[in-house]
């Protein structure tokens, strides 16, 4: 039997594909519908491409190839997210300057990607650390700045002491750095922000998007919309008003103290120059070293705070209540919270700092006393000691109390979001410089577009110290003074690399443009991306940022669409012995040796065979030989003569296979495609196969094993390339084993006959019945008011 010589055959076809520019897409070709098939691009770090990349990219390529054979003009670009920590950390470790090591890694990854044989259009690629790309990331910054969507503010921000940089909230979820897992603390720094919060409502709307439900939910939770009200508490000395945000105004009469977030500017205002200053500031330092989880967890021992020396007046009952700073108050809502015995954290804080408490809700509306309780009362019930609201169910009273507060000008209904503005400054070297300069008075000015790219200086030590490395560049300061004048200084922070990746999909169709980042007409034609494939860990980072940037550019008129990604699929994770693969754990599997030994197609199919694409699986090198044997047998069937024993059985099996593979690919179930092909090969070993059927078979495996399919197609006399040929169609009748002929009645009269599977379900039976021309003619005379299906007996419609 002819065996499949992977190394020879695969390189031969890759050369032919490259030489014939098979994967270069004519973006102006209107003869076919467009299809933009995109995977999240890799970071070129020292890790090179690992099995996880392959697991993601190879099936994504199979999908693109399938869509191409289905008749679409498929655009499938690839690039490199090459700024940022993975590349910079690798450079530091290896002692090679980041640009040099990044370029080496990009080259290596390009080679690995080319071994995969994916149909990337390398003519249209981006590398985000190249000046011809990052000038446009800077342009995006300038457009946001010009339109009041970028601003600089001093605020306590998330700091990772391991990465020596600040992080956006999205990159410090659960108080941990998304890069290194280090616990994040707070630091007061002047930083640049993008106003993503302005787009909270738009970002909550996922209408028309075919996205995993879980991802949509994660975004909604992260944005965290809540409906409540702001209530004003005047200070006793009338010097200020504390506006508290609450979703529970029904507890207003039980408020016995107010807590202010340590980050709130009022803290300094209240205590500076007072006897409280020392204690409060010491306590604040301590709190800043806590993670948000520690700050907000329940359990009395972690509650930290200090009295701010002020009292406020409860607008509901005129009572005087003390004002504290407390760790569990975050800069959410107004950053000031009214505190009472109906909240567990408040209860614990009051117990620790000896603040009196009272209840206003009980099961039956009878008075209860906190002294008899060791925890907050959280249950709904009847209000007492609540003025005119006493005796009402607390939930019923809630909207009435908001109205009452509004009438007395003590508060108003308010919507709040958990989402904060996006912090984009980074104190690291390897990123796009923020295109801002400061005049001698320290006022920021945008770098005019004519000076883009605002080049990243090279005369710096790139090791992170916590100070921005760019500050040490002589050339950077000289350049700034030369252009803007003496005493002017450049901004020395670089941009979060998530800015680079927030718009790259707009650049791919327009990589040759020099005067603009993209051409509106071209992008409006090619976007939104039809299929976007990448990891679920990006739900509340990249996928949120990219939607925001698209929406902002749309609002500013640069693009004609709001949403960047129409359909989204997340691949599962590949593990090794159940653990996430990582270089630091030493369990990362390199694809290279397997590709070399078994060939790219075998490796691709083996990964696909591990399990459903969206589930991932555990890597095990043993099973790959099984796939190698299957590919050999498959290739043998294609390349050798055989005699068909049962032609009808062959036709029926083949049409069933076409149907199965088509349906499974549509559902991204590549594993069952491979299983179906294996089963069919077993059948053919016994039954034999003719040349026409071989031509169908080889097209069915083409998306999954592109090199072997191209070779098989050529052996069968097919024209180059198999990927310019059509996806096979199946005859439904041939896929059905036991059929029955049924008469189709319309208003009691038989109007046609259909042949369907004995066990066809109602939807199938009715659909097939409707497709009968004579039946459909009678159906359109009125409205179908009733559908009848009794399996094996009758199909009918009542029309009025
Ligand atoms: Zn970190």
Q: What is the pLDDT of residue 2?
A: 59
> Separation of 615 CA from ligand 1 center, angstroms?
28
C-alpha 239, offset from chain centre: 46
pLDDT confidence tier of residue 757, bands split at 50, 70 and 90: confident
> Separation of 320 CA from ligand 1 center, angstroms?
44
Q: What is the pLDDT of residue 584?
A: 64
User: Hey, how many other C-beta atoms are within 10 angstroms of the C-beta on 294?
Assistant: 16
> Separation of 167 CA from ligand 1 center, angstroms?
8
pLDDT confidence tier of residue 553, bands split at 50, 70 and 90: very high
Token pair listed for 135:
């000038």
Give the residue among 19, 6, 3, 20 at the shortest CA–CA distance from 115: 6
Q: What is the pLDDT of residue 4?
A: 86
pLDDT confidence tier of residue 45, bands split at 50, 70 and 90: confident
Rounded Cα distance between 775 and 796, Å, is 10
DSSP-derived 3-state class of residue 286: helix
Tokens 């189709």 belong to 744
Q: What is the pLDDT of residue 163?
A: 86
Rounded Cα distance between 574 and 150, Å, is 38
Q: Is pLDDT above 80 for 383?
A: yes
Query: Tens digit of pLDDT for each residue in 576-624?
Result: 888 887 666 677 788 889 999 999 999 999 999 988 999 988 888 888 9
Average pLDDT over residues 395-411: 94
Task: Give the CA count within 13 Å in the CB-facing half-sphere of 505.
Answer: 31
Q: Do residues 325 and 260 lie in contact, with contact meaning Cβ atoms separated by under 8 Å?
A: yes
Q: Is pLDDT above 90 for 410?
A: yes
Rounded Cα distance between 746 and 774, Å, is 10
- Can you list the positions of beta strands (E) in 356-418? 361-362, 382-383, 411-416
Query: Tens digit of pLDDT for each residue in 429-473?
Result: 999 999 999 999 999 999 999 999 999 999 988 777 778 899 999
Report CA Rg, the chain: 33
Rounded Cα distance between 537 and 91, Å, is 25
Q: Do residues 769 and 754 lie in contact, with contact meaning Cβ atoms separated by under 8 Å?
A: yes
Query: Tens digit of pLDDT for each residue in 150-208?
Result: 999 998 889 998 888 888 888 888 788 888 888 888 888 899 999 999 999 999 999 99
> Separation of 85 CA from ligand 1 center, angstroms?
9
> Separation of 534 CA from ligand 1 center, angstroms?
22
Rounded Cα distance between 136 and 452, Å, is 8
> Separation of 183 CA from ligand 1 center, angstroms?
8
> Separation of 48 CA from ligand 1 center, angstroms?
21
Burial bucket for residue 642 (CB in 10 Å: 0-12, 13-18, 19+):
middle
Q: Do residues 280 and 308 lie in contact, with contact meaning Cβ atoms separated by under 8 Å?
A: yes
Q: Is pLDDT above 90 for 651?
A: yes
Query: Tens digit of pLDDT for each residue in 320-351?
Result: 999 999 999 998 889 999 999 999 999 999 99
Q: What is the pLDDT of residue 301?
A: 67
> Separation of 474 CA from ligand 1 center, angstroms?
28
> Separation of 467 CA from ligand 1 center, angstroms?
15
Q: What is the pLDDT of residue 209?
A: 98
> Separation of 180 CA from ligand 1 center, angstroms?
4
Q: Per DSSP, what are the bridge partners of residue 189?
A: 155
Give one DSSP letter per residue of 217-270, joined into a string: HHHHHHHT-EEEEEEEEEETTSS-EEEEEES-GGGGGG--EEEE-TT-HHHHHH
Q: pLDDT > 70: what percent of the chain?
A: 99
> Separation of 160 CA from ligand 1 center, angstroms?
5
Average pLDDT over residues 276-288: 95
DSSP-derived 3-state class of residue 692: helix
Q: Report CA-CA distances (Å) from 723 to 349, 559, 666, 728, 771.
A: 68, 32, 18, 12, 32
Contacts of residue 117, Cβ cutoff 8 Å, sequence gap at least 6: 10, 13, 14, 17, 61, 600, 601, 706, 707
- In sequence order, which ranges of 667-732 are alpha helices (DSSP H)? 670-687, 691-701, 706-715
Query: Tens digit of pLDDT for each residue in 619-645?
Result: 888 889 999 999 999 999 999 999 999
> Separation of 545 CA from ligand 1 center, angstroms?
20
pLDDT confidence tier of residue 87, bands split at 50, 70 and 90: confident
Rounded Cα distance between 37 and 74, Å, is 7
Of residues 637 and 45, which shows the higher confidence score?
637
DSSP-derived 3-state class of residue 183: strand
User: Hey, how many other C-beta atoms are within 10 angstroms of the C-beta on 448?
Assistant: 13
> Separation of 80 CA from ligand 1 center, angstroms?
21
> Separation of 163 CA from ligand 1 center, angstroms?
4
Rounded Cα distance between 335 and 348, Å, is 19
> Separation of 161 CA from ligand 1 center, angstroms?
7
Give the residue among 517, 574, 600 at the shortest CA–CA distance from 119: 600
pTM of the model: 0.84
> Separation of 291 CA from ligand 1 center, angstroms?
14
Rounded to 10 degrees, the C-alpha dihedral 100/104/105/109 comes to 150
DSSP-derived 3-state class of residue 103: helix
Rounded Cα distance between 157 and 167, Å, is 7
Q: Do residues 230 and 243 lie in contact, with contact meaning Cβ atoms separated by under 8 Å?
A: yes
Tokens 């149907």 belong to 659
Query: Tens digit of pLDDT for each residue in 301-326?
Result: 679 999 999 999 999 999 999 999 99
> Separation of 225 CA from ligand 1 center, angstroms?
28
DSSP-derived 3-state class of residue 37: strand
Q: Is pLDDT above 60 for 63?
A: yes
> Separation of 452 CA from ligand 1 center, angstroms?
30
> Separation of 218 CA from ligand 1 center, angstroms?
23
End-to-end CA distance of the chain: 65
> Separation of 132 CA from ligand 1 center, angstroms?
29
Q: Is pLDDT above 80 for 76?
A: yes
> Separation of 179 CA from ligand 1 center, angstroms?
5
Q: Is pLDDT above 70 for 771?
A: yes
Burial bucket for residue 93 (CB in 10 Å: 0-12, 13-18, 19+):
exposed
Q: Do residues 628 and 671 lie in contact, with contact meaning Cβ atoms separated by under 8 Å?
A: no
Query: Tens digit of pLDDT for each residue in 167-178?
Result: 888 888 878 888
> Separation of 86 CA from ligand 1 center, angstroms?
11
Tokens 């709904």 belong to 380
> Separation of 424 CA from ligand 1 center, angstroms?
15
> Separation of 159 CA from ligand 1 center, angstroms?
8
> Separation of 475 CA from ligand 1 center, angstroms?
29
Burial bucket for residue 311 (CB in 10 Å: 0-12, 13-18, 19+):
middle
Residues with CB under 5 A from ligand 1 (ion): 160, 162-163, 177, 179-180, 182
> Separation of 130 CA from ligand 1 center, angstroms?
24
> Separation of 186 CA from ligand 1 center, angstroms?
13
> Separation of 154 CA from ligand 1 center, angstroms?
21
| Element spanning 776, H or E | helix 773-779
Rounded Cα distance between 165 and 256, Å, is 40
Q: What is the pLDDT of residue 583?
A: 64
């Amino acid at each position: 039997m002819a065996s499949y010589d992977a190394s020879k055959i695969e390189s031969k076809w890759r050369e032919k594909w490259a030489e014939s520019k098979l994967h270069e897409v004519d973006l102006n070709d209107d003869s076919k519908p467009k299809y933009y098939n995109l995977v999240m691009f890799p970071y070129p770090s020292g890790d090179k491409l690992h099995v996880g990349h392959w697991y993601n990219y190879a099936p994504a390529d199979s999908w693109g190839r399938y869509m191409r054979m289905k008749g679409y003009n498929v655009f499938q670009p690839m690039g490199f997210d090459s700024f940022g920590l993975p590349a910079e950390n690798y450079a530091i470790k290896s002692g090679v300057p980041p640009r040099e090591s990044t370029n080496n890694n990009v080259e290596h990854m390009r080679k690995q990607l080319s071994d995969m044989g994916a149909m990337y259009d390398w003519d249209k690629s981006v590398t985000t650390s190249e000046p011809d790309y990052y000038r446009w990331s800077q342009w995006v910054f300038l457009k946001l700045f010009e339109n009041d969507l970028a601003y600089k503010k001093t605020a306590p921000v998330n700091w990772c002491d391991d990465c020596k940089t600040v992080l956006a909230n999205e990159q410090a979820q659960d108080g941990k750095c998304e890069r290194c897992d280090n616990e994040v603390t707070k630091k007061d720094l002047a930083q640049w922000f993008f106003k993503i919060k302005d787009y909270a409502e738009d970002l909550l709307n996922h209408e028309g998007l075919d996205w995993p439900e879980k991802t949509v939910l994660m975004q909604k939770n992260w944005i965290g919309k809540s409906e409540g009200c702001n209530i004003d508490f005047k200070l006793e000395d009338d010097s200020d008003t504390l506006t508290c945000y609450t979703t529970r105004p029904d507890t207003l009469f039980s408020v016995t103290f107010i807590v202010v977030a340590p980050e709130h500017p009022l803290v300094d205002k209240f205590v500076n120059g007072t006897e409280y200053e020392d204690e409060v500031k010491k306590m604040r330092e301590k709190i800043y070293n806590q993670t948000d989880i520690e700050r907000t967890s329940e359990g009395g021992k972690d509650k930290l705070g200090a009295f701010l020396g002020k009292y406020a007046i409860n607008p509901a009952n005129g009572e005087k209540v003390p004002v504290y700073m407390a760790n569990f108050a975050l800069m959410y809502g107004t950053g000031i919270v009214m505190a009472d015995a109906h909240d567990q954290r408040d209860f614990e804080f009051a117990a620790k700092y000896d603040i009196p408490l009272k209840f206003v809700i009980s099961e039956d509306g009878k008075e209860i006393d906190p002294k008899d309780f060791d925890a907050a009362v959280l249950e709904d019930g009847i209000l007492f000691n609540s003025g005119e609201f006493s005796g009402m169910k607390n939930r019923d009273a809630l909207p009435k109390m908001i109205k009452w507060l509004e009438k007395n000008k003590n508060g108003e209904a308010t919507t709040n979001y958990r989402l904060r503005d996006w912090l984009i400054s980074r104190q690291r070297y390897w990123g796009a410089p923020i295109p801002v300069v400061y005049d001698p008075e320290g006022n920021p000015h945008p770098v005019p577009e004519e000076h883009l790219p605002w080049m990243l200086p090279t005369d710096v030590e790139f090791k992170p110290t916590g100070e921005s490395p760019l500050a040490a560049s002589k050339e950077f300061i000289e350049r700034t003074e030369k252009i803007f004048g003496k005493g002017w200084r450049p901004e020395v922070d670089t941009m979060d690399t998530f800015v680079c990746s927030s718009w790259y999909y707009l650049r791919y169709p327009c990589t040759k443009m020099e005067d603009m980042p993209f051409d509106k007409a071209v992008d409006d034609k090619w976007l939104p991306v039809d299929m976007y494939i990448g990891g679920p860990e990006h739900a509340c980072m990249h996928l949120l940022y990219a939607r925001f940037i698209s929406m902002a550019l749309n609002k500013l008129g640069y693009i004609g669409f709001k949403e960047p990604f129409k359909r989204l699929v997340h691949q599962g994770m590949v593990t090794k012995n159940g653990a996430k693969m990582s270089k630091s754990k030493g369990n990362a599997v390199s694809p290279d040796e397997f590709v070399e030994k078994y060939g790219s197609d075998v490796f691709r199919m083996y990964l696909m065979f591990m399990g459903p694409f969206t589930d991932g699986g555990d890597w095990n090198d043993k099973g790959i030989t099984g796939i190698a044997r299957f590919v050999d047998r498959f290739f043998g069937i294609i390349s050798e003569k055989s005699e068909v024993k049962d032609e009808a059985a062959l036709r029926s099996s083949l049409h069933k296979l076409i149907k199965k593979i088509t349906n499974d690919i549509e559902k991204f179930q590549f594993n069952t495609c491979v299983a179906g092909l294996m089963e069919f090969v077993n059948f053919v070993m016994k039954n034999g196969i003719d040349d026409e059927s071989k031509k169908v078979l080889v097209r069915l495996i083409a998306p999954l094993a592109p090199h072997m399919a191209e070779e098989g197609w050529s052996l069968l006399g097919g024209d180059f390339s198999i990927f310019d040929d059509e996806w096979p169609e199946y005859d439904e009748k041939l896929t059905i084993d036991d059929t029955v002929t049924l008469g189709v009645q319309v208003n009691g009269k038989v109007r046609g006959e259909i042949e369907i599977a004995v066990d066809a379900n109602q939807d199938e039976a009715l659909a097939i019945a409707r497709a009968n021309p004579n039946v459909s003619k009678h159906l359109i005379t009125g409205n179908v008011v009733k559908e009848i299906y009794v399996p094996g007996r009758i199909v009918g419609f009542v029309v009025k």
